[in-house]
């Protein structure tokens, strides 16, 4: 602020103007008074006394106005400069317009503080609600996952049981030697490794993500299909994966697996509900300089037109009562957004196609 814009400068200018007007008035009064009153010494005394009175008036007026106006404003200005954050309240002893102005300013600040607190609480409640929905969504597939673990373990356990009978019979017939033992050990280890890998995948899926880590979309697709392998085989679903490059992400791998499993499970349920015989899920990873995209398409009949615009809303489901929670696709879109991507759906030919479009500024093709 320029010095001549200050209240002090304006006050001084005001008093000088007033003094000039008063002195000019006295001078013109002297010119127009009667000739016998043109006593020079008397007039000079009059001018001197009036000048002293004007000076005293200006001095008293300045200090009064400074105390009443300038000092409160200076104190307010100092408090604002020392304020460490925007929520600081200002103190002012003035009972007039300046005090009212400060009071109104403090009321507005308090309203802003309360508004921030309310927004913060709403944000925390929303995060807690989303966390609860995520847990509900995971619990909804946990039963299917555990059933899948049991099914995937049946084959190696049956094989191990068969090997135990086989080695006893071969031992009785004298066919057991060092080479036989080594081959037998390798076969058993293959079954054990399969069981361990299955368990590791499921343990990894249910382990909460705490830190962002780099991962590839190709690895996520492979892992998700491994987790859903038993359901896919049991429901006679053919899955075709097309990889045109790869997409590197930095985020939460398990959550992205959850997104894929939600969509695959929805397709599986649609196949069953619509009585589709030849069941196909096509997964495509498309990566280029122009666009990074993941597509999961099926031939299960598509999403009804009347609900296709609402499928990502919470508690929205097209399944029969008791068969769907309505939170799977809602959480899937939240997961996509967290990874700087957009999840959308459209009907193509014989079914629905879910498309995850990534922001190329964040995610780039793998080299």
Could you read off the pLDDT of 83-105 as tens digits, one per residue?
767 777 778 776 666 677 778 88
Tell me: the pLDDT tens digits for 200-227?
766 666 666 667 889 999 999 998 888 7
Instruction: Give the pLDDT of residue 207.
Output: 65
Instruction: Give the pLDDT of residue 139.
Output: 67
Instruction: Give the pLDDT of residue 210.
Output: 65
Exposure string of 118-132, with b = 16+ CB inside 10 Å and e = fewer, is eeeeeeeeeeeeeee
Tokens read off for 128? 């807690």
Instruction: Give the pLDDT of residue 147.
Output: 64
Percent of the chain topping pLDDT 70: 69
Instruction: Give the pLDDT of residue 28.
Output: 65
Contacting residues for 161 by C-beta, under 8 A, at least 6 apart: none
Q: Among 259, 337, 331, 251, which residue's Cα sits nearest to residue 295?
A: 259
Instruction: Give the pLDDT of residue 7.
Output: 58
From residue 215, alpha-carbon distances to 51, 92, 183, 240, 254 in Å are 88, 58, 37, 22, 10
For the domain covering 212-367, report its CATH number: 3.30.565.10
User: Quick one: 246 exposed, middle or buried, by C-beta within 10 A (0-12, 13-18, 19+)?
Assistant: middle
Collect the ranges in the chain with pLDDT lower than 70.
Answer: 1-11, 14-15, 21-47, 50, 64, 67-68, 84, 94-98, 134, 136-152, 154-155, 194, 198, 201-210, 315-326, 360-367
């Amino acid at each position: 602020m320029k010095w001549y814009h200050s209240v002090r400068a304006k006050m001084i200018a005001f008093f000088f103007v007033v003094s000039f007007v008063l002195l000019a008035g006295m001078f013109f009064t002297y010119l127009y008074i009667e000739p016998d009153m043109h006593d020079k010494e008397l007039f000079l005394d009059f001018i001197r006394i009036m000048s002293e009175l004007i000076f005293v008036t200006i001095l008293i007026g300045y200090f009064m106005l400074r105390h009443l106006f300038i000092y409160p404003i200076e104190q307010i200005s100092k408090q604002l400069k020392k304020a460490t954050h925007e929520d600081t309240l200002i103190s002012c002893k003035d009972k007039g317009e300046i005090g009212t102005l400060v009071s109104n300013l403090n009321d507005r600040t308090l309203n802003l503080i309360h508004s921030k607190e309310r927004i913060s609480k709403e944000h925390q409640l929303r995060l807690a609600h989303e966390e609860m929905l995520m847990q509900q969504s995971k619990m909804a597939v946990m039963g299917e996952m555990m059933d899948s673990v049991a099914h995937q373990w049946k084959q190696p356990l049956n094989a191990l049981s068969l090997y135990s009978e086989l080695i006893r019979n071969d031992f009785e017939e004298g066919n057991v030697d060092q080479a036989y033992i080594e081959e037998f050990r390798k076969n058993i280890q293959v079954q054990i490794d399969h069981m361990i890998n299955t368990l590791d995948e499921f343990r990894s899926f249910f382990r909460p993500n705490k830190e962002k880590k780099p991962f590839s979309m190709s690895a996520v697709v492979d892992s998700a299909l491994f987790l859903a392998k038993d359901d896919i085989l049991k429901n006679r679903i053919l899955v075709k994966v097309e990889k045109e490059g790869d997409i590197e992400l930095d985020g939460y791998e398990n959550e992205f697996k959850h997104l894929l499993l939600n969509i695959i499970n929805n397709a599986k349920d649609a196949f069953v509900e619509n009585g589709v015989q030849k069941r196909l899920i096509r997964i495509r990873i498309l990566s280029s300089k122009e666009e990074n995209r993941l597509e999961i398409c099926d031939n299960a009949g598509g999403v009804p037109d009347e609900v296709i615009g609402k499928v990502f809303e919470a508690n929205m489901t097209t399944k029969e009562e008791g068969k769907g929670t309505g939170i799977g696709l809602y959480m899937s879109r939240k997961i996509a957004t967290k990874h700087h991507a957009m999840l959308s759906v459209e009907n193509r030919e014989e079914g629905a196609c879910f498309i995850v479009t990534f922001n190329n500024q964040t995610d780039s093709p793998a080299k």
